[in-house]
Amino acid sequence: MTGTAAARSLAVGVDLGGTQVRTALMRADGELLARAAERTDLAGGPRAVVGQISRLVAAVTQDVAPEHLAGVGVSSPGPLDNVAGVVLSISTMPGWVDIPLVAWLTEALQRPVVLENDGVSAAIGEWRHGAGRGLSDFVYVTVSTGIGGGVIAGGQVLRGRRSMAAHIGHMTTQPQGETCTCGNQGCWEAQASGTAFGDRARRELAGRPDSALATIGAALDGRHVMDAARAGDALARDLVAHEAAELGLGIVNLLHIFSPQAVVIGGGVSAGFDLLQAGIAEQVRRRALPPFRDVPVVPAALGPNAGLVGAASLVLAA
Amino acid sequence: MTGTAAARSLAVGVDLGGTQVRTALMRADGELLARAAERTDLAGGPRAVVGQISRLVAAVTQDVAPEHLAGVGVSSPGPLDNVAGVVLSISTMPGWVDIPLVAWLTEALQRPVVLENDGVSAAIGEWRHGAGRGLSDFVYVTVSTGIGGGVIAGGQVLRGRRSMAAHIGHMTTQPQGETCTCGNQGCWEAQASGTAFGDRARRELAGRPDSALATIGAALDGRHVMDAARAGDALARDLVAHEAAELGLGIVNLLHIFSPQAVVIGGGVSAGFDLLQAGIAEQVRRRALPPFRDVPVVPAALGPNAGLVGAASLVLAA
C-alpha cells in the first residue's frame, strides 16, 4: 500500500507571517503532531525565508517516512496567485514582490506544495477541523491588525476574479468614518479591527483619566481593554460595546449577502468574544431581516492554528 | 429524435409580479418567440393567478408541438423554497403564504415546472443570455422599487442557507441613514432604490422651487428626475449625482466581497445608467482597493425580460 492516497495521511502546514514562520505536522483528522517556529527573517528576504521554511519543515517531519507525507500547504498574506503559486506582494515584508514561492519550495523540499491566502486558509481550517465543520455555507472573519477572512459558499471556497474575493475588511460600513490604511473612509477594518479598537481606546482615554486604562500608557491595546472590561472598568466596557457594534454592522451585511449557516469570528480580538457577543447580537437584532437573526455568530475553534491547519488540509484533499 | 433532450429546445418563462404576470416562449439561444401578459389578479388570490399562468402558457405555446417543450420556469418574488417549489410569502400579494406553486402548476400544465427567486432568475438570465454571458463570477443588482439581485460565484448560483443569499438591498450602507421598510436604518435599498430616489427628489424639491421638477407635482418619481437631468436641470443633476454615490457605496462593497468579473445593473433605475455611470465610477475610484477599480460596472442587457429568460433557462439546463 506504500504510496497510495491512504498511506499519505500526513501533511505539513506552514503559516508565513510578518512576525513568525510557523509549521506543524498534521494528521488527516486535524491533529497537530509536531510544531516548529522561527522569527521571520525579514532582513534576509524571500530566499532566506524559503530556507527557514525548509528547515522548519524538515524539523517537523524528521520522524516521518517519506511515503506518509502528502505535501506542504503554505498560508501566506496576499495578494497572491494560488493557481500559479506566486506571492504578488506582502506589504509588511520587504522584497516580497512576485515571488514564485511554490516553485522555490517544491525545489527545496521535493514535495508537492500548495499556496493559499491566509484568510482563505484559516476559513478552510475552520471548515475542515474547527467551528465550521460540516457546514456548506459559512463566513470566517479574522479580526486582528486588520479584518480579513474567507467564505465557504455552496460547499466551495469563494475565490472570485484573481482569487481576490472576501476582502471583507474593506467593505465600507461607516462612509463618514475613520480613514483606513487603504485611503478610504470607513472601511470595516478601519472601524473594528484590533488596531482600530486600540486606537479608539487611546483617544477616548484622554477624556477619561479616571479609567484603569490610564495606568498603562502608550502600550495600551485591545487586550488591555478586554482585561479592564472584565474587571468592570467603565471606559473599557464602553469601548467593548462600541467595538461590538462596529463588528456587528459588518456581520449584518455578511448575513444578508451570503445567508451563511454560521459566522465564525477568529483573530486576536476574538479572545474577547464572550464580551463582544451580546453587542454583536444586539446589532443583528436591530438591523437584520427576521429570517437572518437566528444565524449563529460563534468564535473560531482553532485560534492561531486555523491558517496552518487549512493549508495542510488543502494538500490532503488534493 | 422526438422527445430527446435535443428536441426539447423550447421553454416557457413566467415572471410573476405584483403588477403583471408575463410569459414568453424562449428558444435555447435565448430568443423570445412569443409573449403574453395579464394584470395580476391580486383579488382572486393564488388559485386565480395559477389559472392566469396556465392560460398565458397555453397562449404562448399554442403553435408548439408538445415534444419540443422542455417545461416552464417561474420567476417569483420571495422568500421561496426553490427546492420544494413553494412560495413562502409575497409581501405585495395578499394570500400568498406557503403556496405550493410548482405542484399546482405541474398539475395544471402537465409539464416540468421550476420555481426561482426573481433576483436570482434575473441574474441567471443575464448570465446565460445577457451582460454576464461567459463569466464565472458576477453580481447582478436590480434597482427599482427596492434593491435585489443575484450572484454567480465560481460558475455557480450563490444560494446560501434557505436559498436566502444575495439579499444585497438590506446590507447597511449608511448606518445613520434613512429608515428602511424592514425597520433598519440605512439599508442600501433605503438609500438608493428607485423609491428612495423619488422620495429624495420630492423632499429636495421643497427648497428648490426653481427646478423644472416643480411642475410635475405629487407624481414625481425617478424617471422624471432622469429626464430633467438629461435636459440639464440643476436639482435633477444633483439628485442623480447623489443617487450614483449611494449606488456606488454598495457596489464598492460587492467588489471587495465577491471580486466579480463584472457588476451588472438592472431594474427601472438602470434606464438612467448612462447618467449614473460617472458617479458610480467616482465612488469606486475613491473607495475601492486598486485591484478592484477596473472591474466593469455595466447595464443589464435584457431589461424587464431578465427574470423570465433566467427562469426559462433553468428548465432547458435541467
Collect all residues from A whose CB is shorter than 8 A from any CB in B.
79, 137, 153-154, 156, 158-168, 170-175, 182, 184-185, 249, 252-254, 256-261, 286-289, 291-292, 295
Contacts of B163 in chain A (CB under 8 A): 259
Domain B10-124+305-317 and domain B133-300, same fold? Reply is yes
pLDDT of A277 reads 98
The length of chain A in residues reads 318
B260 to A160: CB separation less than 8 angstroms, yes or no: yes
Measured in whole angstroms, how far is the alpha carbon of residue B296 from the centre of its chain? 19
d(C-alpha B141, C-alpha B194), whole Å: 13
- Considering only the beta carbons, identify the residue of B137, B161, B257 that sits closest to A257: B257
Which pLDDT belongs to residue A1?
Answer: 40
Chain B residues with CB under 8 Å of A154 CB are 153, 156, 158-160
Q: What is the pLDDT of residue A317?
A: 76
* A161/B253 CB distance under 8 A: no
pLDDT for B318 equals 57
Cβ-contact A196, A147 below 8 angstroms? no
Instruction: Output the average pLDDT for chain A.
Output: 94
Q: Which CATH number fits domain B133-300: 3.40.50.1970, 1.10.287.610, 3.40.50.300, 3.30.420.40?
A: 3.30.420.40
Chain A residues whose CB is inside 8 A of the B171 CB are 252-253, 256-257
Chain A residues in contact with B159 (beta carbon < 8 A): 137, 154, 259
> Distance (Å, rounded) from C-alpha A275 to C-alpha A135?
26
Express each pLDDT in B10-37 by its tens digit.
Answer: 999 999 998 999 999 999 999 999 999 9
CA dist A275 and A309 (Å) reads 27
Q: What is the mean pLDDT of each run of 10 residues along chain B (318 residues)?
A: 63 95 97 97 96 98 94 92 91 91 97 95 97 98 94 97 94 97 95 96 91 90 95 97 98 98 95 97 96 96 96 89
Measured distance CA(B43)–CA(B38) in Å, rounded: 14
What CATH fold (topology level) applies to the domain A10-124? Nucleotidyltransferase; domain 5 (3.30.420)
> What residues in B contact A260, CB-CB < 8 Å?
160-161
Sign of the Cα pseudo-torsion (B4, B10, B15, B21, in order): negative
Which of A175, A256, A261 lies at the smallest CB-CB distance from B167?
A256
How high is the pLDDT of residue A7? 72
Provide residues of B within 8 Å CB-CB of chain A. Answer: 79, 137, 153-154, 156, 158-168, 170-175, 182, 184-185, 249, 252-254, 256-261, 286-289, 291-292, 295
CA B56 to chain centre: 21
Which residue in A171, A185, A288 is closest to B257 by CB distance?
Answer: A171
What are the E-state strand segments in A90-232? 97-99, 113-117, 138-143, 147-153, 156-157
**Which residue reads 436566502 in cell numbers?**
B164
Chain A residues closer than 8 Å to B141 by CB: none
Region of B254 on the Ramachandran plot (φ > 0 left; ψ -120 to 50 alpha; else beta):
alpha
Identify all chain B residues contacting A156, using CB atoms and an 8 Å cutoff. 153-154, 156
Task: Report domain extents, chain B.
Answer: 10-124+305-317, 133-300
CA distance B200 to A236: 40
Nearest-CB residue to A256 (from B170, B260, B291): B170
Quickly count: other Cβ atoms within 10 Å of residue A207's Cβ.
Answer: 9
**Would the CA dihedral through B207, B211, B217, B222 be positive or negative?**
negative
Q: Which three cell numbers stand for residue B224?
A: 422624471
At A258, give phi and psi (nearest 5°).
Answer: -105, -20
Closest among B222, B309, B216 to B268, alpha carbons compared: B222
Report the distance separating Cα A183 and Cα A204, nearest Å.
23
Strand partners, A148: A142
Distance CA A116, CA A77 (A): 9
- For A203, residues 6+ apart whose C-beta sits below 8 A from its C-beta are none
- Cα angle for residues A75, B253, A263 (degrees, 5° grid): 55
| Mean pLDDT in consecutive groups of 10 residues from the start of chain A, 318 residues | 63 95 97 97 96 98 94 92 91 91 97 95 97 98 94 97 94 97 95 96 91 90 95 97 98 98 95 97 96 96 96 89
Size of interface A-B (CB pairs under 8 A): 128
pLDDT tens-digit profile of B200-218?
999 999 888 899 999 998 8
Chain A residues whose beta carbon lies within 8 Å of the beta carbon of residue B156? 153-154, 156
Q: What is the pLDDT of residue B3?
A: 45
* A164 with B287: Cβ contact below 8 A: no
- Please tell me the predicted confidence (pLDDT) of residue B74: 98
Inter-chain CB proximity B258 and A291 less than 8 Å: no
| CATH T-level assignment (fold) for domain A131-300 | Nucleotidyltransferase; domain 5 (3.30.420)
Cβ–Cβ gap B249/A156 under 8 Å: no
Q: How close is the nearest chain A Cα to the Cα of B78, in Å?
A: 12
Angle in degrees, CA A172, A175, A178, rounded to 5: 85
Q: What does the alpha-carbon distance between residue B131 and residue B273 come to, in Å, rounded to a whole number?
A: 14
> Which residue has cell 479609567?
A211
A156 burial (CB, 10 Å; 0-12 / 13-18 / 19+) is middle
Give the residue from B300, B301, B17 showing the smallest Cα distance to B140. Answer: B300
CATH of domain B10-124+305-317: 3.30.420.40
